[in-house]
Amino acid sequence: MSKTAVITGATSGMGATYARRLAADGYDLIITGRRKDMIDKVAEDITKEYNINVNVIIAELSDDNDIQKVIDAVKETDNIEILINNAGFSGYYKNFIEVEPAHYEQMIKVHQVVPIRLTSVVVPMMIKQGKGAIINISSIGAFNALPTGHVYCGTKSFIKMFSEGLYQELKDKGIKIQALCPGFTNTNFAKDYMTEEEYGKLANSVKSMMMSPEAVVDYSLKKLKKNKVVCIPGIINKFICFLFPKLPRGIYYSLAAKMAEL
């Protein structure tokens, strides 16, 4: 019997890497993205290499109509074993009052509402099958509030908490839950809201922390097999997540301000 994985935000980066890894394991795919030419190329390459079925849904996941398109496609598929809530909304690393509230609301929808809606669709299927896995992409920002990253970090903190609570509820149902908390990853994500010069400066500042999407996804899937719920790839990222929140707040705020300047 065939098996299917659903991956949001699979145009490039981690989403496309998850798609290739799971296709290699024999999964048919439902993948979403906004850039039709790019995601169609991903689907074409995967189909040729692995001879699996790929259903591409062009969707802007801050739009309710497009969210429903994805939900409808998922509901029409009865063999979903993996859901990866990977779609991200580029962070507005600006002062709070410099960004229109509507933009923050779009971010909240993509990072929080979409995972909740898709999870609510697949969980009953997975319970019926007695197996399944859900990977929610959080961030090391879930552990560390940064000035100018307030809403982004808040949404990622929600995803981590949501995943941990869901794990406790579903752990006896054969369903694995993971909150993946990567740090700086070499994808197009940051490039969406930075100039080339700004991104180059950032990449140089954090080059000791920068990971490839392939390394992050490999670590995620390895830890999923071991039922690791909160998954933090990279030694430096682990250090940041576990040490920084334990610091006295005054010291932490000073360090956070320096991190925000990177």
The Cα–Cα gap between 248 and 88 comes to 31
Tell me 249's DSSP state.
Answer: H
Catalytic, 199? Answer: no
Write a three-state SS string for 156-191: HHHHHHHHHHHHHHHHHHCEEEEEECCCCECCCCHH
Residues 6+ apart with CB under 8 A from 12: 38, 42, 187, 188
Catalytic choice (27, 152, 167, 219)? 152
- Determine the distance from the C-alpha atom of residue 126 to the mean position of all C-alpha atoms in its chain, rounded to a whole number: 20
Catalytic residue set = 152
